[in-house]
Every structure is written in C-alpha cells, then in structure tokens.
Amino acid sequence: MATSSVSKGCFVFRPDFKKRKVSVPIEDYFNKGKNESEDSKLRFETYRLIWQQMKSETEQLQEELNKNLFDSLIEFLQKSYSGFQKNSRNWGYQTKLREIPTAALILGVNVTDHDLTFRSLTEALQNNVTPYVVSLQAKDCPDMKHFLQKLVSQLMDCYVDVKSKEEERVQVTKKKTHYSMDSLSSWYMTVAQKTDPKMPRKKRTTSSKWQSPPVVLILKDMESFTTKVLQDFIIISSEHLHEFPLILIFGIATSPIIIHRLLSHAVSSLLCIELFQSLSCKEHLTTMLDKLSLLEHFYSQPLSVLCCNLPEAKRRVNFLSDNQCENIRRLPSFRRYVEKQASGKQVALLTNERFLKEETQLLLENLHIYHTNYFLVLRCLHKFTSSLPKYPLGRQIGELYCTCLEKNIWDSEEYVSVLQLLRMLAKDELMTILQKCLKVFKSSSEKLLGSTAKKIQEFLAQFQSLDADAKEEEDASGSQSKGLPKTDLYHLQKSLLEMKELRRTSKKQTKFEVLREKVVNFIDCLVREYLLRPETQPLHEVAYFSAAHALREHLNAAPRIALHTALNNPYYYLKNEALKSEEGCIPNIAPDICIAYKLHLECSRLINLVDWSEAFATVVTAAEKMDANSTTSEEMNEIIHARFIRAVSELELLGFIKPTKQKTDHVARLTWGGC
C-alpha cells in the first residue's frame, strides 16, 4: 500500500477524534446509495484493516520518538528529589536557596497535539516517578483561587487512584470550598504519612521510592498563563517547598525566552530550570491525509476491493461479479492498456470474463512489483539528493515523493541540476551514499532488484581499487607541469593559448571521473526505469488515490464561503427543488434570512432599515400571493415585520451587519462585495 510506506518518513498524530466520528455510521454510509454489487461491505472491512495497521504503526513510531525525551525528563525528576533527600544534613544544602526543580519542555508550535504528548508523559511519570501528577491549562486558571482549586481536586483524584490500588478505604472531604497552600500541604503531609508506615522499605514499589513522593505539576501552555498567577504560585510554593515537594514542568511552544519574559528575576531565581527539547518536528500531516484519502478512496472507487495484499487480491479477483468486471473495463488506464494489445486479445479482454480476470491478476501482480521497486528506487534517490547543497529536490523523502507523483521527475529542472551536482561529488561522499543505497536494497526482503544491489557493490569495489591507483596518477600529473622555456611576451602568450587549447580537447578524464560518470548514469537509468508515474500503470486506480482536491475541500473548511453559499444559494444545501432559481433572482419561498441576506448584498456600506424592510415585505408577499387589500393584511404585515426583525438579528449574530450610530435607522455592513 502506497500510504503505509510514506508514513515511515514522517510522523503525525493519530486523528482519533475523526475515527470516532466516522466509524459509527460508516458502514451504512458506505452502503447508502450504492448498489450491492459494489462489495461495499468488503471494501469497508479492508479499509478498517488497513487503517488499524497504519494506526498501530504510527503510534509505535510516536512512542519511540517520545521515549528519549521522556527518559531524560524522568531522570531529571528523579535526580532532583533524590538530591534533596541525600543532602539534607549538608552545610551547603542548608544555606543554599531552595529552588523548585523545573523542567522547561519545548514542544514546538508545529506539534498540533500536545495533549497526547502530555497524556503519555503523565502516564510515564505515574509509572516511574510519583503517583501525584497534575496538569493544568491556562484557561482553567484565571486567578490563584481557581489555580489552587484545580490543583487540589486533581491531586485528590490521584490520591484516590493510589488508594484504590492498595485497596484501602478513604474518605476524602472533597467539598471544601476554600483551598489554600496551607491546607494543601497539610493534606499532603497526612497522605504521605499514611502511605508511609504501611509499606516496609523493602517492599516499596518504584513509584513510592521516596519517603514523600514529589508532586509534579505540568503547566501545559506556559505562554497563556498570566504573570501574576504564575509568580504568586511560585512564591507561595517555594515557601512551602520543604513540606510540599513540588516539581514544575512548563510546556512551552515557542522559545524558552518566554520564561524570562513572564517571570521577574526575583521569581525566576526561585526556580532551578532545565531545558528539554522535543525533536524538531518535521512532521507533515501526510499520514492523516493518507487516512482520509483512504476513506474517500474506499467510498468512491468500487474497485478498491482489490486494494489489499497480493494473495488476497488474487483470491478476490476470482469472485468479481459481472458488474465489477464492467467497472474494470471502464477504467481509463485499463482501456489504454487494452488498446495497446493485439486485436484478438482485445476482443477477449472485452468479452471474456474469465480471461479478463486472469489478466487482472497478472496486472495486479505487476502493480505490486512496480510499487515495491518504486519505493526502493525512491529511497535510493533520496539518499543521493538529501546530501546535496540547497536540497534541490527537497529535504524530506515526502517532498521527493510528491514531485515524483506529480510528474516525470527527469523532466524537471531540479533533477537536471541534481545530476550536475552529483557529477561534482567527491569520492568519499559518493562512497558513503552508495553504501547507504546498498543498505536500502539489502533491507528489502524482495530480491527484485538484486542485480542493482550487485551493481552497486561492484561500483564500491571499483572505488576502493581506485585508491591503489591514485598514487600513480598523482605522479603522472606531477610530471606534466614542466617549466616553460624563457621567451618573449608574444611567444609566451601564444604558447599559453596553445596549451589551453590542447588541454580542452584532449583533457583526459581520471579514472575516478569516469567511474563517477558511470554511477550517475546508472542512477539516472534507475530513476527513468522505475520512477514512472503511477498513472502509467494499468489498474493504478485500484491502489492510488488521485482526487486530492476533494480532500482539500474536506480539510480546509472555508466558513465564510460556506456561509455565503448557504445564504445566497440555499438549494446547494437544502436540495429543495422549489428553491432552484436562476442566478441573481431571489426565490420568494427561501428562508427569511436568505431573502434578507440577498437584499442586503445589494446595499452599500450603510443600510436603511426601512427600505430593507419594505423590499423584504415585497419579496415575501409575492411568495404568498397575498392580496394586499384583504382584511387580514394588517395582521400579516405585523407577522412579516416580525419575520424581518428576526432575520436581521440573525444576520447580526452571524456578523454580517452591526448597529451603527452614524445615521439613525441604519445598520452598517461588515462584509464587502455584492451578488
């Protein structure tokens, strides 16, 4: 599957909210409006399977990435408190300021989902350091009171968790309205004392290694906290530090300078800050895009049943219905393929189901081979390009992949410049790259490109043998530079020109240069042979997704445009035939707000409410075929007036207009552009 391979090159957060939303009605959704023959159920199952597989892969990847960071963090936390306990009798310890151990965790702006990281961090800390891990968000803590309230309630929850594990009954008086640091630290003392004597020193688990396990407080978004709350809290807790062992973790999205900007020197001197930086996140959202495209793909392409691993696909081909066979025949890529075949075969392909199925199996197999080769060569090419200055083909393998998918890469200017640059590489650079490539080819279990691997090995061997020859060559070049005979200026010039001419024509390439040329040509051939666009492959529709624009629509919500469409053309969303109208005219049975909106589009910046109301009434009464002279018209007018007022206030709520004081009985438009 194309997508799973790409996901190895980058990492991304599993969009589990999307999954939840989607997975409940998804099966029905797949079925709805599709005829049974399209195997929607099977397609859905396959989709689910691949999704699961990808999900676990990305999760694993993310765990690995976080592991380093967490390990160092945990080490810091453990050290900071074991130090406290060890030195408590020391002279230095007694005179030194007590600082709150603080970890500044820089996560970067691009990491969209810090929550996930923090959740796994909390878990890791609870398993390794202390049961008391609390995390707070700025929006919950506008002032000290709320800050402490949140802190205490979360702490008590932690406490209950611990207790329930130890199967003890405790009554926690949660309904305390006023929290202070005093009550908090006294609560902590009782808890710490309670847990302490029950467990003999030897039997203690790692989680309660210390006499009093520290309390870890994670501030998820340091930037958003107000200075006052933070400063006050730090001052207070530093005074209680000896009875309430606190560790702070600041989650920082931008840069650590924010600490100095938020906290005054007097306060930051109470902290002992160490910095932890998560990996610079070169993450793209590719995996997520992959997943979405997966959904769309399975939904819209009936033939995607075949998009699974090879043996399974072959089996399924045998069970294809007539209808599905017809679908295959309709695929543009398949048609192109058929056209290229001999005429007898063409007929057979188009009429004989059995023959078609066999041919399809063959084609699918080819597609798989193409795919594996494609990625091997792609990675190989990436090894070459990623070491070049300025990265003409992008730094990440993902970028390279995108360019390759879009067009034939060898037609691009960048590719030409890459080859030029490759021709200038030094020997040791070239050799390391080749070694890397060899590793790529060897890592794959497929022996498809075995000959290529062998070829690379040969190249390497030749380069090594060059080393031996190099000495001789140096000697030869040294003898060339013989001194010029003493002559006058004219002759000197002449002879120099001659020499230059000579050198240009008969410039002998060194062995290394010849070999380098060979390597570059070899890579070029590889690329041209294997990095064909997927569209060139027959049956590529089965496995490749091309409707990226549909995805873009799903991902890039455009609220303004959607709102405009909804109000301007209600048929688009409501699908009521009566609302279908020509461009520019107002269907009079449209919802009131649509009518008001359309009328307001015709106005300039200030709208006269009376005019607007009259226009509204005209449109509406035309709809109701009201006789203006009828007896009930007075009442009707009032109703219409009320409807108008409601529409106007709805528009105000949506932010299209606002009341203004510039002119009486006018409202101001907040958007521009007419209909």
Partner 1 sequence: MPHLENMVLCRESQVSTLQSLFGERHHFSFPSIFIYGHTASGKTYVTQTLLKTLELPHVFVNCVECFTLRLLLEQILNKLNHLSSSENGCPTEITCETFNDFVHLFKQVTKAENLKDQTVYIVLDKAECLRDMEANLLPGFLRLQELTDRNVTVIFLSEIVWEKFRSNTGCFEPFVLYFPDYSIGNLQKILSHDHPPEYSADFYAAYINILLGVFYTVCRDLKELRHLAVLNFPKYCEPVVKGEASERDTRKLWRNIEPHLKKAMQTVYLREISSSQWEKLQKDDTDPGQLKGLSAYTHVELPYYSKFILIAAYLASYNPARTDKRFFLKHHGKIKKTNFLKKHEKTSNHLLGPKPFPLDRLLAILYSIVDSRVAPTANIFSQITSLVTLQLLALVSHDDQLGGPKYKCTVSLDFIRAIARTVNFDIIKYLYDFL
CB of 95 to partner 1, least distance (A): 5
Per CB under 8 A, 610 contacts partner 1: no
Judged by CB under 8 A, the residue of 24, 109, 484, 492 near partner 1 is 109
CB of 555 to partner 1, least distance (A): 8
- Measured from the CB atom, the residue of 350 and 555 that comes closer to partner 1 is 555
Given CA atoms 443, 447, 452, 453 in this order, what sign does their dihedral have?
A: positive
- Measured from the CB atom, the residue of 279 and 466 that comes closer to partner 1 is 279
CB of 655 to partner 1, least distance (A): 5
Q: Binding-site residue total for partner 1 (CB under 8 A)?
A: 60
Judged by CB under 8 A, the residue of 2, 11, 50, 101 near partner 1 is 101
Does residue 58 sit in helix, strand or coil? helix
- Measured from the CB atom, the residue of 194 and 282 that comes closer to partner 1 is 282
Judged by CB under 8 A, the residue of 205, 479, 556, 662 near partner 1 is 556
| Spatial contact of 303 and 327, defined as CB atoms under 8 Å apart | yes
Backbone φ/ψ region at 655: left (φ over 0), alpha (ψ -120 to 50), beta: left
Please state the φ and ψ torsions of residue 386, each to the nearest 5 degrees: -70, -15
Per CB under 8 A, 560 contacts partner 1: yes
Judged by CB under 8 A, the residue of 8, 19, 34, 145 near partner 1 is 145
CB of 315 to partner 1, least distance (A): 43
Per CB under 8 A, 655 contacts partner 1: yes
Backbone φ/ψ region at 39: left (φ over 0), alpha (ψ -120 to 50), beta: left
| Spatial contact of 294 and 51, defined as CB atoms under 8 Å apart | yes
Closest to 52 (Cα-Cα) out of 230, 308, 366, 237: 308
CB of 88 to partner 1, least distance (A): 15
Instruction: State the residue for tokens 């455009």.
Output: 558
Closest to 101 (Cα-Cα) out of 64, 75, 136, 131: 75
Beta-ladder partners of 250: 104, 219
- Measured from the CB atom, the residue of 27 and 113 that comes closer to partner 1 is 113
Q: What's the token pair of residue 385?
A: 């390009």
| Spatial contact of 366 and 536, defined as CB atoms under 8 Å apart | no
Per CB under 8 A, 75 contacts partner 1: no
Per CB under 8 A, 558 contacts partner 1: yes
CB of 663 to partner 1, least distance (A): 17
CB of 232 to partner 1, least distance (A): 6
CB of 382 to partner 1, least distance (A): 22
Give the separation between CA 38 and CA 301, rounded to whole angstroms.
9
Per CB under 8 A, 96 contacts partner 1: yes
Q: Which part of the chain contacts partner 1 (CB under 8 A), choosing from 105-113, 361-369, 479-487, 505-513?
A: 105-113
CB neighbours of 42 closer than 8 A, spacing ≥ 6?
A: 305, 316
| Spatial contact of 380 and 372, defined as CB atoms under 8 Å apart | no
| Spatial contact of 45 and 317, defined as CB atoms under 8 Å apart | no
- Please report, as residue ranges, which positions from 223 to 262 form the binding site for partner 1 (by CB under 8 A): 223-224, 232, 235-236, 239, 253-260
Judged by CB under 8 A, the residue of 182, 353, 406, 467 near partner 1 is 182
Give the separation between CA 31 and CA 538, rounded to whole angstroms.
28
Closest to 657 (Cα-Cα) out of 668, 647, 673: 668
- Please report, as residue ranges, which positions from 257 to 286 form the binding site for partner 1 (by CB under 8 A): 257-260, 265-266, 268-269, 271-275, 277, 280-281
Q: In residues, how long is the chain?
A: 675
Q: Which part of the chain contacts partner 1 (CB under 8 A), choosing from 119-127, 532-540, 557-565, 577-585?
A: 557-565
Helices marked H in 341-352: 343-351
Judged by CB under 8 A, the residue of 221, 399, 524, 650 near partner 1 is 221
Backbone φ/ψ region at 248: left (φ over 0), alpha (ψ -120 to 50), beta: beta
Q: What's the token pair of residue 286?
A: 């590719």
CB of 83 to partner 1, least distance (A): 7
How far is the first Cα of the chain from the last one, in angstroms, to the nearest whole number?
Answer: 47
Q: Which part of the chain contacts partner 1 (CB under 8 A), choosing from 48-56, 96-104, 150-158, 296-304?
A: 96-104
- Measured from the CB atom, the residue of 49 and 275 that comes closer to partner 1 is 275
Strand order through the sheet with 271-277: 133-136, 215-219, 246-252, 100-106, 271-277
Q: What's the token pair of residue 69?
A: 């960071």
Per CB under 8 A, 104 contacts partner 1: yes
Closest to 121 (Cα-Cα) out of 83, 164, 165, 77: 77
- Measured from the CB atom, the residue of 416 and 558 that comes closer to partner 1 is 558
Q: What's the token pair of residue 259?
A: 């600490």
Per CB under 8 A, 658 contacts partner 1: yes
Q: Which part of the chain contacts partner 1 (CB under 8 A), choosing from 41-49, 175-183, 465-473, 506-514?
A: 175-183
Per CB under 8 A, 89 contacts partner 1: no
CB of 192 to partner 1, least distance (A): 19
Q: Which part of the chain contacts partner 1 (CB under 8 A), choosing from 124-132, 164-172, 180-188, 300-308?
A: 180-188
Per CB under 8 A, 142 contacts partner 1: no
Judged by CB under 8 A, the residue of 7, 40, 58, 80 near partner 1 is 80
Judged by CB under 8 A, the residue of 489, 561, 585, 628 near partner 1 is 561
For the chain, the maximum distance between any two Cα atoms, rounded to a whole number of angstroms, is 124
H or E segment and range at residue 668: strand 666-669
Q: What's the token pair of residue 414?
A: 């960048």
Closest to 43 (Cα-Cα) out of 56, 29, 57: 29
H or E segment and range at residue 657: strand 657-659
- Measured from the CB atom, the residue of 257 and 426 that comes closer to partner 1 is 257
Judged by CB under 8 A, the residue of 99, 196, 399, 650 near partner 1 is 99
Residues in contact with partner 1 by the rule CB under 8 A: 79-80, 83, 91-92, 95-97, 99, 101-102, 104, 106, 108-110, 143-145, 178, 180-182, 221, 223-224, 232, 235-236, 239, 253-260, 265-266, 268-269, 271-275, 277, 280-281, 555-561, 655, 658, 670
